[in-house]
């Protein structure tokens, strides 16, 4: 057996939509981008969405919109993909980590206030694996100290907690359509928000700060553009948007398929004392992005390699960011600083988890995992 760690869920209609773009005039941002942004904003129930080329630049330009710069601090989690902390670095600011909750691996809101300083400007929570953080709680802490809240929702388009969706309580939410995400166009990202001024800035910021895009300039009577401020270059193209337009229409069906697999995995690993799986807290609708198992940290790498030898694709999501060389050297972070996060980072293995995983493949994975860890 050979089971890929990830397979995308593209269908004929996605490819046909891209073909339409290729037969049209504007391959760059245009009507497909606009249509996808509308669908995304509607889906997450925010007023606006801006299509970009990655979640990394979504995080970066959103932080920059809030004026985060050299000398500022942003409180975030060490249990995430490095992009979360790197976005803070791109602003010249310092990512200040706090430890995570053992049950969800999300940022531990109890610890946030203890690291707030006069330099703190924002909180950057990550809805890890698709399980939302307690946004009501985080918003309260932020308001008390006058901080912005930017949500890294790269795993969590479909998630909810206490009836709240990503971006509804935070000042903005950032999404990823990278190659292995729940819906994908290879590389892509977006920001959702409710503030018209912020939307206007982000819309221009993704293309140099220009006041008119190509479709506006060329399809009607030519109009001169101006440049309001020094922006960036990270606008989502029609090609990327065309790939996403029908995936977002199918997003609930795709989630149901992952929910079924998650339930099967949960039941299969329940009786195995060699494995721990993270829970879902009451009031939470899990977006089910990744399925991770926690094993004995002394045996994690061995298990990981044995699964690969058995033909099962695996990944590690994630080793603690604060233990990456760059962060250790720059800020002096060290082992022992965030023990809950480190323990998860040393124990975790992600196993194949996507709608096109067959029942037979899931059975094979369960067998491989259980026979290896339960002895
Ligand atoms: C994938 C990911 C990102 C980065 O997304 P890109 O679109 O690849 O830039 C950021 N944060 C988290 C939690 C991610 O998993």
Residues 151 and 265 in one domain: no
In this prediction, residue 374 carries a pLDDT of 73
pLDDT of 332 above 80: yes
User: Within this chain, do residues 212 and 264 fall inside the same structural domain, yes or no?
Assistant: no
pLDDT digit string, tens, across residues 8-31: 999 999 999 999 999 999 999 999
Q: How far is the CA of 314 from the centre of ligand 1 (A)?
A: 18
| Shared domain check, 111 and 238 | yes
Give the DSSP letter string of 269-324: HHT-TT-B-----TTEE-----EEEE--TTTHHHHHHHHHHTTB--B-----GGGS
Average pLDDT over residues 85-92: 98
Whether residue 116 is contained in a domain is answered as yes
Q: What is the pLDDT of residue 215?
A: 67
Query: Which CATH number goes with the domain that contains 57?
Result: 3.40.640.10
Is residue 134 scored above 70 in pLDDT? yes
Q: Are residues 107 and 135 in the same domain?
A: yes
- Report the pLDDT averaged over residues 264-273: 96
d(CA 353, CA 347): 18
Ligand 1 close to Cβ of residue 84 (< 6 A): yes
Q: pTM score > 0.75 for this model? A: yes
User: Is 281 domain-assigned?
Assistant: yes
> Are residue 83 and residue 197 in the same domain, yes or no?
yes
Percent pLDDT > 70 in the chain is 98
pLDDT in tens, 280-330: 999 999 999 999 999 999 999 999 999 999 999 999 999 999 999 999 999
pLDDT of 214 reads: 67
| pLDDT tens per residue across span 138-151 | 999 999 999 999 99
Q: Is the CB of 56 under 6 A from ligand 1?
A: yes
Work out how many domains the chain is built from and give that number.
2
96 and 177 share one domain: yes
What CATH number did the domain enclosing 322 receive?
3.90.1150.10
Q: Are residues 294 and 237 in the same domain?
A: no
Asked if 303 and 227 sit in the same domain, the reply is no
174-186 residue pLDDT tens:
999 999 999 999 9
Distance, CA of 258 to CA of 360 (rounded, Å): 15
Does any ligand 1 atom lie closer than 6 A to the CB of residue 353?
Answer: no
> In this structure, are 142 and 47 located in the same domain?
yes
Q: What is the domain range of residue 238?
A: 12-249
Average pLDDT in the 242-258 region?
A: 98
> DSSP characters for 157-195?
TT-EETTBPTTSSSSEEEEE--TTSSS--SS-EEEEES-
Query: Are residues 21 and 167 part of one domain?
Result: yes
C-alpha dist (Å) from residue 280 to 104, 218, 266, 277: 7, 50, 11, 10
In a shared domain, residues 239 and 364: no
* C-alpha–C-alpha distance, residues 32 and 184, integer Å: 15
Mean pLDDT of the chain: 96
Residue owning the nearest CA to atom 10 of ligand 1: 83
Does residue 190 share a domain with residue 92?
Answer: yes
262 CA → ligand 1 middle, Å = 22
* Cβ neighbourhood burial of 87 (10 Å; 0-12, 13-18, 19+): buried
Distance 42 CA to ligand 1 centre (A): 22
């Amino acid at each position: 057996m050979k089971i890929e760690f990830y397979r995308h869920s593209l269908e004929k209609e996605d490819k046909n939509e891209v073909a339409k773009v290729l037969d049209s005039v504007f391959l760059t941002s245009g009507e497909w981008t606009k249509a996808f942004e509308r669908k995304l904003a509607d889906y997450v129930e925010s007023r606006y969405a801006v299509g970009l080329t990655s979640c990394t630049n979504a995080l970066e330009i959103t932080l920059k919109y809030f004026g985060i710069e050299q000398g500022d601090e942003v409180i975030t989690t060490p249990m995430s993909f490095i992009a979360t902390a790197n976005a803070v670095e791109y602003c010249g600011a310092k990512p200040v980590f706090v430890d995570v909750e053992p049950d969800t691996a999300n940022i531990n809101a109890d610890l946030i206030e203890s690291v707030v300083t006069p330099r703190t400007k924002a909180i950057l929570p990550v809805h890890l694996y698709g399980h939302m953080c307690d946004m009501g709680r985080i918003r309260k802490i932020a308001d008390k100290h006058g901080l912005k809240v930017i949500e890294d929702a790269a795993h969590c388009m479909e998630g909810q907690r206490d009836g709240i969706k990503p971006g509804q309580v935070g000042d903005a939410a950032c999404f990823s359509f990278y190659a292995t995400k729940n819906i994908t166009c290879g590389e892509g990202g977006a920001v959702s928000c409710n503030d018209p001024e912020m939307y206007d800035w982000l819309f221009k910021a993704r293309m140099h700060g220009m006041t008119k895009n190509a479709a506006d300039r060329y399809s009607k009577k030519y109009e001169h553009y101006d440049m309001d401020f020094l922006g960036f270059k990270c606008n989502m193209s029609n090609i990327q948007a065309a790939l996403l337009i029908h995936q977002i229409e199918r997003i609930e069906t795709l989630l149901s398929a992952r929910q079924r697999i998650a339930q099967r995995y949960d039941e299969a690993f329940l009786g195995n004392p060699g494995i721990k799986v993270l829970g879902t807290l009451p009031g939470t609708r899990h977006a089910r992005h990744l399925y991770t198992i926690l094993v004995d940290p002394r045996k994690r790498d061995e298990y990981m390699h044995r699964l690969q030898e058995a033909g099962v694709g695996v990944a590690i999501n994630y080793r603690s960011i604060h233990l990456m060389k760059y962060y250790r050297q720059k800020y002096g972070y060290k082992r022992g600083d965030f023990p809950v996060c480190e323990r998860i980072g040393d124990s975790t293995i992600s196993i194949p988890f996507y709608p096109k995983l067959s029942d037979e493949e899931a059975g094979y994975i369960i067998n491989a995992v259980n026979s290896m860890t339960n002895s």
